[in-house]
Structure 1
Amino acid sequence: MEQSASKRPIDIVSLYPKDMNIYGDSGNVLAIERRLSLYGYEPRIHAVNQNDAWPDHADIILGGGGQDTGQKKIIEDLFRRADMLHELADDGVPMLMICGLYQLFGEYFETVDGTKLEGISIIRSYTVGRDVRMIGNLVEHSELFGDIIGYENHSGQTFLREGVAPLGHMDGEGTGNNGEDHTEGALVNHVIGTYMHGSLLPKNPKISDFLIRAAAERRYGEFAPQFTDETREQLAHLDETAARAREVAASRPR
Protein backbone atom coordinates (compact mmCIF):
# COMPACT_ATOMS: atom_id res chain seq x y z
CA MET A 1 0.00 0.00 0.00
CA GLU A 2 1.33 3.44 -0.92
CA GLN A 3 2.03 5.78 1.95
CA SER A 4 -0.07 8.93 1.81
CA ALA A 5 1.51 12.38 1.74
CA SER A 6 0.14 13.11 5.20
CA LYS A 7 2.31 10.26 6.50
CA ARG A 8 5.45 11.53 4.74
CA PRO A 9 6.15 14.91 6.31
CA ILE A 10 9.31 16.86 5.52
CA ASP A 11 10.10 19.51 8.12
CA ILE A 12 11.61 22.74 6.76
CA VAL A 13 13.29 25.21 9.11
CA SER A 14 13.26 28.81 7.90
CA LEU A 15 16.14 30.24 9.92
CA TYR A 16 15.81 33.83 11.18
CA PRO A 17 13.26 35.00 8.59
CA LYS A 18 12.57 38.15 10.63
CA ASP A 19 16.12 39.54 10.37
CA MET A 20 17.71 37.51 7.57
CA ASN A 21 15.30 37.72 4.65
CA ILE A 22 16.27 40.17 1.95
CA TYR A 23 16.09 40.31 -1.86
CA GLY A 24 13.40 37.64 -2.03
CA ASP A 25 15.10 34.93 0.01
CA SER A 26 11.75 33.81 1.43
CA GLY A 27 11.01 32.57 -2.09
CA ASN A 28 13.40 29.69 -1.43
CA VAL A 29 11.09 28.41 1.31
CA LEU A 30 8.08 28.69 -1.00
CA ALA A 31 9.90 26.88 -3.82
CA ILE A 32 10.82 23.93 -1.59
CA GLU A 33 7.32 23.82 -0.12
CA ARG A 34 5.72 23.71 -3.58
CA ARG A 35 8.01 21.05 -5.03
CA LEU A 36 7.63 18.82 -1.97
CA SER A 37 3.85 18.98 -2.33
CA LEU A 38 4.05 18.07 -6.01
CA TYR A 39 6.30 15.12 -5.16
CA GLY A 40 3.67 13.83 -2.74
CA TYR A 41 5.29 14.84 0.55
CA GLU A 42 3.79 17.00 3.27
CA PRO A 43 5.93 20.13 3.78
CA ARG A 44 5.88 21.55 7.30
CA ILE A 45 7.36 25.04 7.66
CA HIS A 46 8.92 26.11 10.96
CA ALA A 47 9.99 29.75 11.24
CA VAL A 48 12.77 29.93 13.82
CA ASN A 49 13.76 33.39 14.99
CA GLN A 50 15.77 34.44 18.02
CA ASN A 51 14.88 32.45 21.15
CA ASP A 52 12.26 30.38 19.33
CA ALA A 53 11.98 26.68 20.11
CA TRP A 54 13.59 24.29 17.67
CA PRO A 55 11.16 21.81 16.04
CA ASP A 56 11.25 18.10 16.79
CA HIS A 57 12.37 17.39 13.23
CA ALA A 58 14.57 19.44 10.88
CA ASP A 59 14.90 17.86 7.43
CA ILE A 60 15.89 20.97 5.44
CA ILE A 61 17.27 24.24 6.84
CA LEU A 62 17.01 27.44 4.77
CA GLY A 63 18.59 30.76 5.74
CA GLY A 64 18.66 34.12 3.98
CA GLY A 65 20.69 37.27 3.75
CA GLY A 66 20.55 40.48 5.70
CA GLN A 67 22.39 43.67 6.41
CA ASP A 68 25.25 43.83 8.91
CA THR A 69 22.76 44.98 11.55
CA GLY A 70 20.69 41.84 11.00
CA GLN A 71 23.74 39.64 11.39
CA LYS A 72 24.64 41.33 14.65
CA LYS A 73 21.10 40.77 15.95
CA ILE A 74 21.07 37.03 15.41
CA ILE A 75 24.70 36.14 16.10
CA GLU A 76 24.25 35.35 19.81
CA ASP A 77 21.29 33.08 19.14
CA LEU A 78 23.14 31.43 16.25
CA PHE A 79 26.04 30.53 18.54
CA ARG A 80 23.65 28.95 21.04
CA ARG A 81 22.52 26.65 18.27
CA ALA A 82 25.99 26.11 16.75
CA ASP A 83 26.70 22.66 18.22
CA MET A 84 23.30 21.39 17.14
CA LEU A 85 23.73 22.81 13.63
CA HIS A 86 27.14 21.15 13.35
CA GLU A 87 25.62 17.83 14.39
CA LEU A 88 22.83 18.17 11.85
CA ALA A 89 25.26 19.13 9.07
CA ASP A 90 27.51 16.17 9.94
CA ASP A 91 24.45 13.91 9.89
CA GLY A 92 23.62 14.95 6.33
CA VAL A 93 20.81 17.46 6.84
CA PRO A 94 20.66 19.60 3.69
CA MET A 95 21.04 23.34 4.26
CA LEU A 96 20.99 26.40 2.03
CA MET A 97 22.50 29.59 3.44
CA ILE A 98 22.30 32.80 1.43
CA CYS A 99 24.64 35.81 1.69
CA GLY A 100 24.67 36.98 5.33
CA LEU A 101 24.10 33.51 6.79
CA TYR A 102 26.59 32.05 4.29
CA GLN A 103 29.14 34.42 5.84
CA LEU A 104 28.22 33.47 9.41
CA PHE A 105 28.40 29.76 8.58
CA GLY A 106 32.06 30.45 7.87
CA GLU A 107 34.83 31.15 10.38
CA TYR A 108 34.34 34.90 10.70
CA PHE A 109 33.10 38.06 8.98
CA GLU A 110 35.12 41.24 9.44
CA THR A 111 32.87 44.17 8.53
CA VAL A 112 33.96 47.36 6.75
CA ASP A 113 34.15 49.22 10.07
CA GLY A 114 36.51 46.58 11.49
CA THR A 115 33.98 44.73 13.63
CA LYS A 116 34.72 41.02 13.66
CA LEU A 117 31.74 38.70 13.84
CA GLU A 118 32.80 35.16 14.67
CA GLY A 119 31.09 32.48 12.60
CA ILE A 120 30.13 28.93 13.50
CA SER A 121 32.62 27.33 11.05
CA ILE A 122 30.40 24.80 9.34
CA ILE A 123 32.01 26.08 6.13
CA ARG A 124 35.76 26.65 6.31
CA SER A 125 35.84 30.15 4.87
CA TYR A 126 36.25 33.74 6.02
CA THR A 127 34.81 37.05 4.83
CA VAL A 128 36.23 40.56 4.80
CA GLY A 129 34.01 43.59 4.15
CA ARG A 130 35.04 46.05 1.42
CA ASP A 131 33.89 49.51 0.38
CA VAL A 132 33.05 48.35 -3.15
CA ARG A 133 29.70 46.60 -3.48
CA MET A 134 29.37 43.65 -5.86
CA ILE A 135 26.00 43.84 -7.57
CA GLY A 136 24.46 42.22 -10.60
CA ASN A 137 23.08 39.17 -12.37
CA LEU A 138 25.31 36.15 -12.22
CA VAL A 139 25.70 32.89 -14.15
CA GLU A 140 28.06 30.30 -12.74
CA HIS A 141 28.92 26.78 -13.82
CA SER A 142 28.64 23.75 -11.59
CA GLU A 143 29.49 20.13 -12.38
CA LEU A 144 26.65 19.03 -10.12
CA PHE A 145 23.93 21.52 -11.07
CA GLY A 146 24.89 22.83 -14.50
CA ASP A 147 24.45 26.59 -14.95
CA ILE A 148 23.26 28.33 -11.78
CA ILE A 149 21.57 31.70 -12.25
CA GLY A 150 21.00 34.34 -9.60
CA TYR A 151 21.66 37.87 -8.43
CA GLU A 152 24.50 38.96 -6.16
CA ASN A 153 24.50 42.05 -3.93
CA HIS A 154 27.21 42.07 -1.27
CA SER A 155 30.24 43.98 -0.09
CA GLY A 156 31.86 41.08 1.75
CA GLN A 157 34.62 39.17 0.02
CA THR A 158 34.61 35.49 0.98
CA PHE A 159 37.66 33.25 0.68
CA LEU A 160 37.43 29.46 0.87
CA ARG A 161 40.06 27.52 2.78
CA GLU A 162 42.09 24.93 0.92
CA GLY A 163 40.04 21.86 0.08
CA VAL A 164 36.62 23.54 0.30
CA ALA A 165 34.68 23.10 -2.94
CA PRO A 166 32.95 26.16 -4.40
CA LEU A 167 29.34 25.91 -5.47
CA GLY A 168 30.36 27.05 -8.95
CA HIS A 169 32.86 28.87 -11.15
CA MET A 170 32.39 31.89 -13.40
CA ASP A 171 33.73 32.81 -16.83
CA GLY A 172 34.50 36.52 -16.79
CA GLU A 173 31.48 38.53 -15.63
CA GLY A 174 30.46 38.48 -12.00
CA THR A 175 32.49 38.80 -8.86
CA GLY A 176 31.17 35.82 -6.89
CA ASN A 177 32.94 35.06 -3.63
CA ASN A 178 35.60 37.72 -3.90
CA GLY A 179 36.14 38.95 -7.46
CA GLU A 180 39.58 37.35 -7.60
CA ASP A 181 39.46 33.57 -7.94
CA HIS A 182 36.31 33.16 -10.10
CA THR A 183 34.59 31.00 -7.46
CA GLU A 184 31.11 31.48 -6.03
CA GLY A 185 29.58 29.91 -2.97
CA ALA A 186 30.59 26.71 -1.23
CA LEU A 187 29.37 23.11 -1.06
CA VAL A 188 30.20 21.04 2.01
CA ASN A 189 28.45 17.68 2.24
CA HIS A 190 24.79 18.74 1.85
CA VAL A 191 25.39 22.33 3.02
CA ILE A 192 25.29 25.04 0.35
CA GLY A 193 26.43 28.60 0.93
CA THR A 194 26.00 31.20 -1.79
CA TYR A 195 25.64 34.90 -2.54
CA MET A 196 22.86 34.16 -5.03
CA HIS A 197 19.64 36.00 -4.31
CA GLY A 198 16.83 36.29 -6.79
CA SER A 199 15.42 34.22 -5.07
CA LEU A 200 17.71 31.36 -6.03
CA LEU A 201 15.59 28.20 -5.92
CA PRO A 202 12.64 29.14 -8.17
CA LYS A 203 15.10 29.61 -11.06
CA ASN A 204 17.30 26.64 -10.16
CA PRO A 205 15.09 23.56 -9.60
CA LYS A 206 18.10 21.21 -9.70
CA ILE A 207 19.29 22.71 -6.42
CA SER A 208 15.80 22.40 -4.92
CA ASP A 209 15.73 18.73 -5.92
CA PHE A 210 19.21 18.18 -4.43
CA LEU A 211 17.97 19.47 -1.07
CA ILE A 212 14.69 17.54 -1.27
CA ARG A 213 16.32 14.27 -2.29
CA ALA A 214 18.89 14.51 0.52
CA ALA A 215 16.14 15.24 3.06
CA ALA A 216 13.88 12.40 1.91
CA GLU A 217 16.69 9.85 1.77
CA ARG A 218 17.89 10.79 5.24
CA ARG A 219 14.42 10.58 6.79
CA TYR A 220 12.83 7.74 4.81
CA GLY A 221 15.75 5.90 3.24
CA GLU A 222 14.73 6.86 -0.29
CA PHE A 223 13.36 9.67 -2.42
CA ALA A 224 10.11 8.29 -3.81
CA PRO A 225 7.86 10.84 -5.54
CA GLN A 226 4.17 9.97 -5.71
CA PHE A 227 2.52 11.73 -8.63
CA THR A 228 -0.99 12.11 -9.87
CA ASP A 229 -1.58 13.15 -13.47
CA GLU A 230 -2.38 16.63 -12.18
CA THR A 231 0.73 17.04 -10.03
CA ARG A 232 2.97 15.67 -12.80
CA GLU A 233 1.54 18.28 -15.17
CA GLN A 234 1.95 21.03 -12.57
CA LEU A 235 5.59 20.09 -12.00
CA ALA A 236 6.27 20.20 -15.74
CA HIS A 237 4.67 23.65 -15.92
CA LEU A 238 6.75 24.81 -12.94
CA ASP A 239 9.97 23.66 -14.62
CA GLU A 240 8.99 25.35 -17.90
CA THR A 241 8.40 28.60 -16.02
CA ALA A 242 11.78 28.26 -14.32
CA ALA A 243 13.46 27.73 -17.70
CA ARG A 244 11.92 30.92 -19.08
CA ALA A 245 12.95 32.86 -15.99
CA ARG A 246 16.51 31.54 -16.35
CA GLU A 247 16.67 32.69 -19.96
CA VAL A 248 15.53 36.19 -19.07
CA ALA A 249 17.86 36.52 -16.07
CA ALA A 250 20.86 35.19 -18.01
CA SER A 251 20.29 37.69 -20.82
CA ARG A 252 20.14 40.75 -18.60
CA PRO A 253 23.31 42.82 -18.20
CA ARG A 254 24.86 43.23 -14.79
Structure 2
Amino acid sequence: MEKRYKHIAFLVIPNATLLDITGPYEAFSLAIQCLKSYHKDTTYVLHTLSLDRNRIVKTSSGLCLQCEGSIKSLNYPIDTLFIPGIPESLEDMVDPKTLSWIKQQSMQVRRICSICTGAFILAEASILDNRKVTTHWKLCHKLANDYPSLDVDSESIFIKDGHVYTSAGVSSGIDLALALIEEDFGRTLALEVARELVVYLKRPGNQAQFSVTLKHQDSDYKPIQNIKDWLLEHLKEK
Protein backbone atom coordinates (compact mmCIF):
# COMPACT_ATOMS: atom_id res chain seq x y z
CA MET A 1 0.00 0.00 0.00
CA GLU A 2 1.48 3.32 -1.09
CA LYS A 3 1.94 5.90 1.66
CA ARG A 4 0.33 9.33 1.46
CA TYR A 5 2.05 12.21 3.20
CA LYS A 6 0.90 15.37 4.94
CA HIS A 7 3.77 17.85 4.79
CA ILE A 8 3.99 19.92 7.99
CA ALA A 9 6.31 22.92 7.54
CA PHE A 10 7.73 25.20 10.23
CA LEU A 11 8.98 28.61 9.10
CA VAL A 12 12.09 29.28 11.21
CA ILE A 13 12.29 33.06 11.48
CA PRO A 14 15.46 34.61 12.94
CA ASN A 15 15.06 35.30 16.66
CA ALA A 16 11.94 33.14 16.89
CA THR A 17 10.95 31.60 20.22
CA LEU A 18 12.50 28.13 20.20
CA LEU A 19 9.60 26.30 21.89
CA ASP A 20 7.12 27.78 19.39
CA ILE A 21 8.85 25.53 16.84
CA THR A 22 10.17 22.56 18.80
CA GLY A 23 7.02 22.05 20.91
CA PRO A 24 4.57 21.29 18.08
CA TYR A 25 7.38 19.72 16.03
CA GLU A 26 7.95 17.13 18.77
CA ALA A 27 4.22 16.40 18.99
CA PHE A 28 4.02 15.65 15.27
CA SER A 29 7.25 13.65 15.46
CA LEU A 30 5.75 11.42 18.16
CA ALA A 31 2.58 11.10 16.07
CA ILE A 32 4.69 9.73 13.21
CA GLN A 33 6.17 7.11 15.52
CA CYS A 34 2.73 6.10 16.79
CA LEU A 35 1.30 5.94 13.26
CA LYS A 36 3.91 3.34 12.29
CA SER A 37 2.31 0.88 14.71
CA TYR A 38 -1.16 1.77 13.43
CA HIS A 39 -0.25 0.77 9.84
CA LYS A 40 -1.99 3.85 8.48
CA ASP A 41 -1.71 4.64 4.77
CA THR A 42 -1.21 8.33 5.62
CA THR A 43 1.45 9.90 7.83
CA TYR A 44 3.24 13.19 8.43
CA VAL A 45 6.51 14.49 7.01
CA LEU A 46 8.11 17.36 8.95
CA HIS A 47 10.06 20.24 7.44
CA THR A 48 11.94 23.26 8.79
CA LEU A 49 12.30 26.20 6.42
CA SER A 50 14.65 29.16 6.64
CA LEU A 51 13.95 32.43 4.88
CA ASP A 52 17.04 32.20 2.68
CA ARG A 53 19.72 29.73 1.67
CA ASN A 54 21.56 30.23 4.97
CA ARG A 55 19.89 27.33 6.72
CA ILE A 56 21.36 27.93 10.19
CA VAL A 57 18.99 30.24 12.09
CA LYS A 58 19.60 31.68 15.55
CA THR A 59 16.56 31.63 17.84
CA SER A 60 15.78 34.08 20.65
CA SER A 61 17.35 31.78 23.26
CA GLY A 62 20.64 31.84 21.37
CA LEU A 63 20.32 28.23 20.24
CA CYS A 64 20.66 27.76 16.49
CA LEU A 65 18.49 25.49 14.36
CA GLN A 66 19.77 23.97 11.14
CA CYS A 67 16.85 23.95 8.74
CA GLU A 68 16.26 21.22 6.20
CA GLY A 69 15.65 23.75 3.42
CA SER A 70 14.50 27.27 2.63
CA ILE A 71 11.37 28.83 1.21
CA LYS A 72 13.35 29.31 -1.99
CA SER A 73 13.87 25.56 -2.45
CA LEU A 74 10.35 24.32 -1.74
CA ASN A 75 9.48 21.29 -3.89
CA TYR A 76 6.46 19.75 -2.14
CA PRO A 77 2.92 20.90 -1.35
CA ILE A 78 2.63 22.15 2.25
CA ASP A 79 -0.34 20.73 4.10
CA THR A 80 0.05 22.73 7.33
CA LEU A 81 2.29 25.78 7.78
CA PHE A 82 3.41 26.97 11.23
CA ILE A 83 4.51 30.56 11.89
CA PRO A 84 6.31 31.04 15.25
CA GLY A 85 6.44 34.17 17.36
CA ILE A 86 9.29 36.55 18.20
CA PRO A 87 9.67 37.73 21.80
CA GLU A 88 11.26 41.11 21.11
CA SER A 89 10.11 43.90 18.78
CA LEU A 90 6.86 43.12 17.02
CA GLU A 91 7.51 45.73 14.35
CA ASP A 92 9.16 44.73 11.08
CA MET A 93 9.46 41.10 12.16
CA VAL A 94 9.71 39.88 8.60
CA ASP A 95 10.38 41.63 5.31
CA PRO A 96 7.66 42.32 2.70
CA LYS A 97 8.85 39.50 0.43
CA THR A 98 8.44 36.97 3.23
CA LEU A 99 5.01 38.37 4.09
CA SER A 100 4.05 37.97 0.44
CA TRP A 101 5.27 34.34 0.49
CA ILE A 102 3.26 33.62 3.64
CA LYS A 103 0.17 35.23 2.09
CA GLN A 104 0.57 33.16 -1.05
CA GLN A 105 0.99 29.96 0.95
CA SER A 106 -2.10 30.77 3.03
CA MET A 107 -4.17 30.49 -0.13
CA GLN A 108 -2.69 27.09 -1.03
CA VAL A 109 -2.22 25.18 2.22
CA ARG A 110 -4.92 23.20 4.00
CA ARG A 111 -4.08 24.90 7.32
CA ILE A 112 -1.95 27.84 8.41
CA CYS A 113 -1.13 28.25 12.09
CA SER A 114 0.52 30.86 14.27
CA ILE A 115 2.08 30.39 17.70
CA CYS A 116 2.10 33.30 20.16
CA THR A 117 3.16 36.55 18.42
CA GLY A 118 3.20 34.77 15.08
CA ALA A 119 -0.37 36.12 14.94
CA PHE A 120 1.12 39.57 14.31
CA ILE A 121 2.92 38.20 11.27
CA LEU A 122 -0.28 36.67 9.90
CA ALA A 123 -2.10 39.92 10.62
CA GLU A 124 0.57 41.96 8.83
CA ALA A 125 0.19 39.61 5.84
CA SER A 126 -3.59 40.37 5.86
CA ILE A 127 -4.44 36.74 6.57
CA LEU A 128 -6.39 37.42 9.77
CA ASP A 129 -8.69 40.17 8.49
CA ASN A 130 -12.22 39.80 9.92
CA ARG A 131 -11.31 36.58 11.71
CA LYS A 132 -11.57 35.55 15.36
CA VAL A 133 -8.01 35.12 16.66
CA THR A 134 -5.85 34.92 19.75
CA THR A 135 -2.24 35.45 20.83
CA HIS A 136 -0.33 35.64 24.11
CA TRP A 137 -2.62 37.16 26.74
CA LYS A 138 -0.17 40.02 27.41
CA LEU A 139 -0.37 41.15 23.78
CA CYS A 140 -4.03 40.64 22.91
CA HIS A 141 -4.83 44.30 23.55
CA LYS A 142 -1.97 45.41 21.27
CA LEU A 143 -3.06 43.01 18.54
CA ALA A 144 -6.61 44.37 18.69
CA ASN A 145 -5.39 47.98 18.61
CA ASP A 146 -2.89 47.45 15.79
CA TYR A 147 -5.34 45.49 13.62
CA PRO A 148 -8.91 46.74 14.31
CA SER A 149 -10.53 44.35 11.82
CA LEU A 150 -9.56 41.37 14.00
CA ASP A 151 -11.87 39.84 16.60
CA VAL A 152 -9.27 39.17 19.33
CA ASP A 153 -10.09 36.67 22.07
CA SER A 154 -7.74 37.04 25.06
CA GLU A 155 -9.01 33.90 26.82
CA SER A 156 -8.64 30.97 24.44
CA ILE A 157 -5.61 28.67 24.23
CA PHE A 158 -6.11 28.41 20.46
CA ILE A 159 -8.78 29.36 17.93
CA LYS A 160 -9.77 27.91 14.57
CA ASP A 161 -11.39 30.25 12.06
CA GLY A 162 -11.75 28.57 8.71
CA HIS A 163 -8.38 27.08 7.79
CA VAL A 164 -6.53 29.63 9.95
CA TYR A 165 -5.44 28.69 13.47
CA THR A 166 -3.97 31.08 16.03
CA SER A 167 -2.68 30.10 19.46
CA ALA A 168 -1.58 31.73 22.69
CA GLY A 169 1.87 31.85 24.22
CA VAL A 170 4.64 29.31 23.74
CA SER A 171 3.44 25.96 25.18
CA SER A 172 0.00 26.39 23.59
CA GLY A 173 1.67 25.33 20.33
CA ILE A 174 1.70 21.80 21.75
CA ASP A 175 -2.03 22.03 22.52
CA LEU A 176 -2.69 23.20 18.97
CA ALA A 177 -0.57 20.40 17.49
CA LEU A 178 -2.49 17.82 19.53
CA ALA A 179 -5.78 19.29 18.27
CA LEU A 180 -4.57 19.05 14.67
CA ILE A 181 -3.44 15.45 15.19
CA GLU A 182 -6.90 14.69 16.57
CA GLU A 183 -8.49 16.34 13.51
CA ASP A 184 -6.41 14.16 11.20
CA PHE A 185 -6.31 10.81 12.98
CA GLY A 186 -8.72 10.88 15.92
CA ARG A 187 -8.68 11.34 19.67
CA THR A 188 -6.96 8.04 20.49
CA LEU A 189 -3.76 9.02 18.66
CA ALA A 190 -3.83 12.56 20.07
CA LEU A 191 -4.10 11.23 23.63
CA GLU A 192 -1.32 8.72 23.01
CA VAL A 193 0.95 11.55 21.85
CA ALA A 194 -0.06 13.63 24.87
CA ARG A 195 0.91 10.75 27.17
CA GLU A 196 4.27 10.38 25.43
CA LEU A 197 4.88 14.11 25.91
CA VAL A 198 3.88 13.74 29.59
CA VAL A 199 1.38 16.54 29.08
CA TYR A 200 -0.71 16.73 32.24
CA LEU A 201 -3.93 17.47 30.39
CA LYS A 202 -4.93 17.73 26.74
CA ARG A 203 -6.46 21.19 26.98
CA PRO A 204 -9.38 22.27 24.79
CA GLY A 205 -8.95 25.43 22.74
CA ASN A 206 -11.47 27.41 24.76
CA GLN A 207 -9.70 26.88 28.08
CA ALA A 208 -8.54 30.14 29.69
CA GLN A 209 -4.92 31.08 29.00
CA PHE A 210 -4.37 32.33 32.55
CA SER A 211 -4.51 29.24 34.75
CA VAL A 212 -6.57 29.60 37.92
CA THR A 213 -4.53 26.76 39.44
CA LEU A 214 -1.26 28.59 38.81
CA LYS A 215 -2.73 31.80 40.20
CA HIS A 216 -3.30 30.05 43.52
CA GLN A 217 0.17 28.49 43.67
CA ASP A 218 1.77 31.77 44.74
CA SER A 219 2.29 31.01 48.44
CA ASP A 220 5.91 30.94 49.67
CA TYR A 221 4.90 29.30 52.96
CA LYS A 222 5.76 25.60 52.53
CA PRO A 223 3.02 24.07 54.77
CA ILE A 224 0.31 26.02 52.92
CA GLN A 225 1.79 25.01 49.55
CA ASN A 226 1.84 21.37 50.65
CA ILE A 227 -1.85 21.58 51.58
CA LYS A 228 -2.71 23.08 48.17
CA ASP A 229 -0.78 20.35 46.35
CA TRP A 230 -2.47 17.65 48.45
CA LEU A 231 -5.94 19.08 47.76
CA LEU A 232 -5.40 19.04 44.00
CA GLU A 233 -4.48 15.36 44.18
CA HIS A 234 -7.47 14.38 46.36
CA LEU A 235 -10.39 16.36 44.91
CA LYS A 236 -12.53 13.21 44.46
CA GLU A 237 -12.28 12.20 48.10
CA LYS A 238 -14.86 13.04 50.73
TM range (shorter): 0.5 to 0.7
> 2:100 — aligned with what?
80
TM-aligned CA deviation for residue 32 of structure 1: 2.2
TM-aligned CA deviation for residue 38 of structure 1: 1.9
> 1:124 — aligned with what?
129
Deviation string, structure 1 residues 67-96 (Cα, Å, up to 9, x no partner): 35476352334223044223225xxx1121
The reply on whether 1:66 has 2:51 as its aligned counterpart is: no
Counting matched residue pairs gives 183
Q: Which has the higher helix share?
A: 2
TM-aligned CA deviation for residue 189 of structure 1: 0.9
The reply on whether 1:252 has 2:210 as its aligned counterpart is: no
Change (3 A) 1:250 1:88: farther
Deviation string, structure 1 residues 163-211 (Cα, Å, up to 9, x no partner): x666xx6xxxxxx2xxxxx6776532121123x124224346652335x
The equivalent position to 2:180 in structure 1, one of 186, 198, 208, is 208
Q: Which has the higher contact order (CA 8 A, sep 6+)?
A: 1
Which letter does structure 1 place at the counterpart of 2:126? Answer: S
Change (3 A) 1:36 1:76: same
Superposed CA RMSD in Å reads 4.2
Q: Which has the higher strand share?
A: 1
Aligned pairs for 1:192-231 within 5 A: 192-194=165-167, 196-203=168-175, 207-209=179-181, 213=184
Deviation string, structure 1 residues 85-124 (Cα, Å, up to 9, x no partner): 23225xxx11210232211211xxxxxxxxxxxx111111
Percent of aligned positions that are identical: 11
Deviation string, structure 1 residues 39-91 (Cα, Å, up to 9, x no partner): 344432221121322241201111111035476352334223044223225xx
Secondary structure (helix, strand or coil) at the match of 1:242 reads coil
The reply on whether 1:158 has 2:120 as its aligned counterpart is: no
Aligned pairs for 1:1-254 within 5 A: 3=1, 7-39=3-35, 40=40, 41-51=42-52, 52=70, 53-69=73-89, 72-89=92-109, 93-106=110-123, 119-124=124-129, 152-154=137-139, 157-159=142-144, 176=154, 186-194=159-167, 196-203=168-175, 207-209=179-181, 213=184, 234-235=192-193, 237-238=195-196, 241-244=198-201, 251-253=213-215
Largest Rg, 1 or 2? 2
Alpha-carbon contact 1:152-1:197 (below 8 Å) kept: yes
Structure 2 length-normalised TM? 0.57
Alpha-carbon contact 1:19-1:73 (below 8 Å) kept: no
